[in-house]
Amino acid sequence: MDSSLLLKLPFSTIFEYLQMLQIISKPMKDIGLHAMLYLAVAVSDFYVPWKDMVEN
């Protein structure tokens, strides 16, 4: 595989991840059957319980 075709997107929060996934997946629909997403992330690593989040 040509490594120049691989787009790596760093993120820090689950909210960033979900927003990027939504933005990227819409145009990929036009590619059709040849579109592929590799989602290699442990989402649980970015979860912070609401009670532990800082208010301000």
Query: For residues 17-42, b (16+ Cβ closer than 10 Å) or e, as one string?
Result: beeeeeeeeeeeeeeeeeeeeeeeee
pLDDT in tens, 8-24: 888 877 788 889 889 88
What's the pTM? 0.54
Report d(CA 35, CA 25) in Å as an integer.
9
Q: Give the pLDDT confidence of 37-54 residue by residue, as tens digits.
A: 877 777 566 666 777 777
